[in-house]
Amino acid sequence: MGLGLADGGAVRAGVHYSAEKYAPLPSRWRGFLLDHRALRTIAAERPADGGPSPLRQEYVTAAGHYQRLARQRPLTAQESADYGAVLIRLGRWNEALAVLTPAVRRWPDHFALHANLGTAWQLQGEWDRAIEALQEAVRLAPPAWKRYEEYHLKLVRLRRAEKGGIAARGVDDLFGVPWDGPVGPWPEQRRQTLPPDAVAIAQQLALWLPQDGRLLWLLAELANADGEVIVAAAMLDGCVTEFGLNSPALRARRLLFRTEAEKLRQHAKHQSQFRPRSSRPLLQTFDERLLPPPRSDGPTPLPWSLLAATSFGDRGAVHFPDYLRRLDGQLVSLNGFMQPLGDQPQPQEFLLLEYPVGCWFCEAPEPNGLVYVRLAAGRQIDKRRDLILVTGRLRLNHDNPEAFLFALEEAVVAQPQ
């Protein structure tokens, strides 16, 4: 049994926003890392790697909506919690505190308000105030969410008690186990020292706090314990290259993980105890009510999260979001990365992905993360690896199991906007 099997169902707290809907955790590592990165880059107008967050504009739009609503009338408790969560995601913590603090005084028994307020104080480095708010969040949390809130509170208490400089800080002692030792799957006796839902807990904390590189380090160690050494090595690389962590202990572990990962590159050698409960953690990260009406004077921008909200019912029945159904046959535009379907140097058809895939065997997206693109007659494009903007007529596949769910026909390619 892998370390990731959680006891309860889907959870939402920490950063509690009613438009963020989660699948049961833990999620497959690729799906988790994609959504983790997307949440992390919401706060950046343009990340260092040049790729804009697919979600940022949706959160900017939501913030504007709640700001206008607050001018018209007092916000409700849930609206205040949602507004605070959106501001937290955007990195506007002072504004979040200005919304959440008076709301907590007005509605002292509202769980999401306390959870969001605790997160905002934590991100400000106000540990005592964060603990006070999170204690209330734990007290008020519904049973299915209480365990996750308890670990959030434990994390903040551990951080407050730390001594020494940043470089001396190691993996958070969240589960009371040592993280040193050889690389590779833990023997069963050692695995029993971890709670069975350790990965689910750590993934949830990292989704609430996606800018926290030390949580990614913890997740790498948990992935290693399950035998996911290649994934763990990649996460430790990210701790250094994306988060700038410079702990000597981290660099030593990174070297060990990379060395072992090189020995396991062949898929036949890959053995894992990890048992995910979902492909990606985020089922939906937008409020469909805030999406603009489909345009009649040009292409309607299409968010990847809207495609990801497509689900499957019994016997393979496809359920498209209502908004997406309204766009069927209409002109839309979508940023993404090209995945060639063949060996032609200038293909007329290809797949469009939200993020590029390094290894198709390990990292193949789900059906609702693929868009088939066929260029307009007479058009071709050189193969490329950078972000592109594709405009075409959207076709939804309702009943053909041999075809892709989404297609863009008569498409043209341009530089992203």
Q: Where do the structural domains in the chain lie, given as residue ranges? A: 20-269, 291-414
In sign, the C-alpha dihedral spanning 233, 234, 240, 244 is: negative
Transcribe 141-183 into DSSP letters.
Answer: --HHHHHHHHHHHHHHHHHHT--S-GGG--S--SSS----S-S
At residue 314, the pLDDT reads 67
Neighbours of 345 (CB within 10 A): 8
Q: Write down the pLDDT at residue 112.
A: 96
* DSSP element (H, E) containing 407: strand 406-414
Q: Could you give the CA distance from residue 174 to residue 201 in angstroms, rounded to a whole number?
A: 10
Residue 90 pLDDT: 96
Q: What is the largest CA-CA distance in the chain?
A: 65
Q: Nearest to residue 355, comparing CAs of 96, 6, 53?
A: 53
pLDDT at position 208, please? 96
pLDDT (0 to 100) of residue 392: 95
Q: What is the pLDDT along the chain (417 residues), one digit of tens a residue?
A: 355 444 333 333 489 999 988 889 999 998 899 889 889 989 987 655 545 566 788 899 899 999 999 999 999 999 999 999 999 999 999 999 999 999 999 999 999 999 999 999 999 999 999 999 999 999 999 998 899 999 999 999 999 999 766 655 789 999 999 998 889 899 999 999 999 999 999 999 999 999 999 999 999 999 999 999 999 999 999 999 989 998 999 999 999 999 888 887 655 455 678 889 888 898 877 777 778 889 888 999 888 888 988 888 766 788 898 999 999 999 999 988 888 887 676 778 999 988 776 555 455 678 888 999 999 887 777 777 788 899 999 999 988 888 999 999 999 998 776
Give yes or no for a contact between 61 and 301, defined as CB atoms under 8 angstroms apart: no
Which CATH architecture group holds 291-414? Beta Barrel (2.40)
94: phi then psi, degrees, rounded to nearest 5? -60, -40
Say what the pLDDT of residue 51 is: 52
pLDDT for 115: 97
pTM: 0.79
| CATH topology assigned to domain 20-269 | 1.25.40
User: Which 3 state secondary structure label does DSSP give 92?
Assistant: coil
Count Cβ atoms within 10 A of the Cβ of residue 60 and give its class: 0-12 exposed, 13-18 middle, 19 or more buried: middle
